[in-house]
Structure 1
Amino acid sequence: MSANRTGTPVLELDDVHLSFKGVKAVNGVSFEVRPGELFAVIGPNGAGKTSLFNVISGVYKPQQGSVRFLGEDVLGKKPSDIAARGVSRTFQNIALFEHLTLIDNMMLGRHQHISYGAGAAIAWWGRARRQEVEHRRKVEEIVDFLELAAWRALPVGLLPYGVQKRVELGRALAMEPKLLLLDEPVAGMNLEETEDTARFVLDIRDELDVPIIMVEHDMGLVMDLADRVMVVDFGTPITTGTPDEVQRHPDVVRAYLGEELST
């Protein structure tokens, strides 16, 4: 387990509001993510969870509030600038290049670490060659970490769905993130694939020491894995706490079940 989850927050959101034509997608959300923490965001469909990810990664700019990453105000920064600072993410829907191999897809995650130009790449000498070798070494380490070696040379379009989701996770790791955003990492998976993914998510947190924010509808997975959970409904935060605290909160029960918690 990560040793320090009480240090300076990796990410801080304060009173974030985001609206689209008067419709509140994010309504007064505040939270922090601590070093080495797996922080989960849950809520019914349409609760604003993906919009929150888009705010953190710079896709959306909220009308109000602040977003600080590693102590720096990143509100209004371009998504590429925020990614370069160390925020990487996966998506609800697989966003891979299906005709490229597993390795080539994961190499795309190394783009921000490349410091040579097109000319050097064409010449394939000196710094370009040395960096390419190093980038491939990093990717091969991730392939081994995620147990993907059996598929490394295949086009990802030929791979099983669960493996494709793992490749997308690997591409996010190839960026060497300081914060990883997982948007429904087990959506559409069978039980075996879900269990495999859960194991890898814990390994990322505990072995690689990468803090994680996870949006997920699988409540069993969330309650088993998360250190803390924030519940949102119609863009508004209901409560934040440990999985046990959240499951016992009467407003959470009402949001999910439409009834009071029995005692």
Structure 2
Amino acid sequence: MAVLSVDGIRLAFDGVVAVDGVSFEVGESELFAIIGPNGAGKTSIFNVLSGVYRPQQGSVEFNGENLLGLRPHRIASRGMSRTFQNIELFSHLTVVDNLMLGRHNHMKYGALSAFLLLGRARDEELKNRSAVEDVIDFLELEQWRRFPVGLLPYGVQKRVELGRALAMEPRLLLLDEPVAGMNVEETEDMARYILDVREELGIPMIMVEHDMGLVMDLADRVMVMDFGRPIRTGTPAEVQADPDVIRAYLGEQHRSVAS
């Protein structure tokens, strides 16, 4: 059963087409990757899914509900969360505080109750902090929990970014270049956490990434984009063996790997 169904999306800005006729589905617990050269339309697809952009044509259904026309916070409230290529954390806040921001959709009390921290607000605070502690344990962030995020190593900051998205308890997770700028060790760590999200939490994911080794190792299926259009969707092995994909993006060195 498809968690997300995208059909015939077309997005243009002043006549410049960013996404042209894109269709795909994401199944339960699937890791679906989108790859392509810079400017291929990958991030534009994410912005459509999360409600930042509204396409001129096509449809997006998430768990059977049409998302087009909904504002980003409404889409987030339905269980879609996202990480960003450029870290979007509050550098002066601690790891715990940044993760608590991911719980905003689960906080059911008003400003006065929050200020007084009595009754329902206190109970909700304890419940949400317990959820954050689970994320800290899951991503092995315990030693950095009280540090301001801006003082942490880059790879740890990227892990906190993932943690904030997980704190939302998503039903679909969008990963925008989760290992961009990381060294080999940090990339291996992030790959392990992404696998844990799929295998232990069962959360379906869509990943945009330029690290082809990571994509081919982790993804169940891959969609290759070029100039806003999909040129091939299939398993990693199928994609690596496709002549059009090799010519447009992967390069000749992948021909020998796939053969």
Check whether TM > 0.5: yes
In structure 1, distance between residues paired with 2:251 and 2:21: 23
**Residue of structure 1 equivalent to 2:19:** 26
| RMSD, aligned CA | 1.2
1:140 is aligned to 2:133: yes
Matching residue within 237, 241, 256 for 2:230: 237
Residues 38-53 of structure 1 mapped to structure 2, 5 A cutoff: 38-53=31-46
Amino acid at match of 1:121: A
Give the distance between the partners of 1:149 and 1:82, measured in 2 at CA: 30
Corresponding position of 1:174: 167
- Which one-letter code corresponds to 1:46 in the other structure? G
**After superposition, where does 1:242-257 map in structure 2 within 5 Å?**
242-256=235-249
Q: Which runs of 4+ in 1 moved over 3 A?
A: 257-263
CA deviation string 1:195-244 (max 9, x = no partner): 00000000001100000000000000000000000000011000100000
Structure 2 match to 1:5: none
Q: Secondary structure at the match of 2:224?
A: strand
What is the match of residue 207 of structure 2?
214
Length, aligned pairs only = 256
The within-5 A match list for 1:91-240 is 91-240=84-233
Question: Distance in 2 between the 1:65 and 1:85 partners?
Answer: 20
Q: Secondary structure at the match of 1:207?
A: helix
Measure how far apart 1:257 and its partner are. Answer: 5.3
Q: Which amino acid aligns with 2:248?
A: A
Once the two structures are TM-superposed, the CA of residue 261 in structure 1 deviates from its matched residue by: 5.0
Whether contact under 8 Å (2:240, 2:255) holds in the other structure is: no
- SS of aligned partner of 1:77: coil
TM-score (norm 2): 0.97
User: How many percent identity over aligned positions?
Assistant: 70
Deviation at 1:76, TM superposition (A): 1.0
The residue type paired with residue 90 of structure 1 is T
Q: CA deviation at 1:258?
A: 6.4
| TM superposition score normalised by structure 1 | 0.95
Alpha-carbon separation, structure 1, partners of 2:187 and 2:62: 30
Query: Is residue 240–residue 250 contact of structure 2 (8 Å, CA) maintained in 1?
Result: no
Q: 1:231 to 1:116 in 2, by over 3 A?
A: same
Deviations 1:85-143 (A, max 9, x none): 00000001000000000000000000011110011011211100000001000001100
Amino acid at match of 2:81: S
Residue by residue, what CA displacement relative to the aligned partner does 1:148-196 show, whole Å, maximum 9, x if unpaired?
0000000000000000000000000000000000000000000000000
Which moved further from structure 2: 116-125 or 187-196? 116-125
Structure 2: gaps of 5 or more residues:
none
